[in-house]
Every structure is written in C-alpha cells, then in structure tokens.
Amino acid sequence: MRKLVLAITLIAGSFAAKAQLDLPQPSPKATVKQTVGLTDVTIEYSSPAVKGRAIWGELVPYSELWRTGANAPTKVTFSKDVNINGKAIPAGTYTLLTIPEKENWTIMFNKDAELRSTSGYSQEKDIVSMRIKPQVISNRERFTVLVSDFTNEGGNISLEWEKLRIDIPFTVNTDHQALLNITSTLNASWRSYTNAAKYLLDNKKDSELALSHINSAISLSPNQWYSHWIKAQIHAEKKQNKEAFASAQKAKELGDKSSNFFYKNDVEKALVDWKPAKK
C-alpha cells in the first residue's frame, strides 16, 4: 500500500512540475541576434513588463546598479572585435550593467560573463564604462533590447522600457575583416575574383587591387560579361573613361548573347555617358 501511495505521489509531482514549466513567466527570456557587417551581435536578457507601475526611480531606483532587465543580468556576445566608446573590445561575451539616473546613465560592459546578480559585480572587471543621456519615447510596455540603426560599420545596442530609450553606439571592423577574407579565401575561380573586385569597388577601397582582381577573373574566364562590366566601373571610378567605355562595350557584346544580361540598361546608359567625344 505504501508503495502505491509513493508511486501516486511521484506521478502527481511529475505532472505538477510539467504544469509549472508550461506557465508563462512574468519576465520571459528573450534573445536578439543581428549580423552587423561581418560581426554577429547576440543579446540575451529577460523582459519584465511595466504593468502600470512607476519604473524609473521607483521599481528601478536611481543611482543603484541595475542588472538591465530581470532575473540574471543581460549578456551581450560579439563574434568579432568591436569598438565601444573609443575602446577596442575583443570578441566574446560580456555582462551589460547600468546605473540609471535622471540625466545620464552609466553603462558598463563587464568581463565577468558568468555574473548571475549585481551582488557579485566587480568594477575592476569593467572593460568599458560610459555615460549616456536617455531619450524620451512613446510607451514600451516590456523591457526590450535591440540592435538599431545598423550599417556595415556599426550600430546601436538600444534599451527601451516605459518611456525611456538608451542608445549604446558601437562600431565594427568590417572593411578590415573583408579584406582579410579576400586575401585568405581567393581561389582559382573567376567568380571569387569578380566578387572581391566588386566589394572593393562598392566600398571605394584600393582601386588598383580591384583592377588586379578583375583582370585575374577575366584571364580565367574571358567571356563573362559581368566581369567586364565590373572592370568598366573600376575604370570609371579611376576617371579612365576611355578604358571604361571599352570594357562596357565588351560587356554589352557578351551580354547580348546571354540570357541573363540583367544589367543591360545600366551598361547601355554607361556607353552613352562614357562615349568619347569626337575630335
């Protein structure tokens, strides 16, 4: 009989545990992942709600260390090195802590990625600290962290809750990383050389290297209209209109024989714009 009672108790306990796991949490976990250039930025945090409460200076006191969310402190992971407030930040995971104030918040990225509460905080482990003025926004019911206003060169880690927003700017080393990738991964393929040349062209980087790469692409596969079109644009960027016109002519000649001449209008316009003046 005792064994039966014990079995029933264990089963009931098991069902109760499962029921608890299925209940919604007051501050659910959230994860944000955004690629900025070639750098992945991942943010893990918990998202409490306002629920009609006074937040700043009340639920979250002024002048006190805040875990920046609920439950465990917010964690930010950078897949590659970044720059924050003029400081080089190595790739890795950091704890994001804040000290809210009426005028300017103190923002800290701390090297202790295992920090579970503010009680274990050590200022000596801050890799960067800065002061940022909050902005007023329309109401945000749940605390939210996002990567905002990003380009290939950087963006903001933005904190929003109630009627306040904090933007933490950061920059990434996309150009340096891309050039390293170009150098280390080029292979004997016309397409890889063409893509490398196009990246340099689009970002106005080292036109001589771009021209060298596109010449390598053309030598490997001379009948690719796209490579000749990239070469034409590189010459145009270098103010070499005669060479640009000749390469555009070759691109049109080859493109007219292709079923996917998708830059036809651009090439034809360039031929008009770059046509040498009659002497």
Q: Which residue has the tokens 């937040």?
A: 55
Instruction: Give residue 1's pLDDT.
Output: 53
Q: Which residue has the higher pLDDT, 176 or 154?
A: 154
Long-range CB contacts for residues 265-273, cutoff 8 Å, separation at least 24:
266/229, 267/229, 267/232, 270/232, 270/233, 270/236, 270/244, 270/245, 271/245
158 vs 165: CA distance, rounded Å = 7
Domains of the chain: 25-172 (no CATH), 186-274 (1.25.40.10)
Mean per-residue pLDDT, 134-162: 97
List pLDDT tens digits, range 2-53.
Answer: 555 455 555 555 555 555 567 888 899 999 999 999 999 999 999 999 999 9
Which of the 8 DSSP states describes residue 111? S
CA distances from 254 to 34, 227, 247, 258, 263 (A): 40, 10, 11, 7, 12
Confidence bin at 277 (pLDDT 50/70/90): confident
List pLDDT tens digits, range 85-131.
Answer: 999 999 999 999 999 999 999 999 999 999 999 999 999 999 999 99
Instruction: Give residue 11's pLDDT.
Output: 54
Instruction: Give residue 175's pLDDT.
Output: 87
Instruction: Give residue 24's pLDDT.
Output: 85
pTM: 0.77
| pLDDT above 90 for 224 | yes
List pLDDT tens digits, range 78-92.
Answer: 999 999 999 999 999
Q: Which residue has the higher pLDDT, 278 or 243?
A: 243
Phi/psi of residue 225, nearest 5 degrees: -60, -35
Average pLDDT over all residues of the chain: 92
- Express as a percent the part of the chain with pLDDT over 90: 82
Q: Which residue has the tokens 């945090």?
A: 45
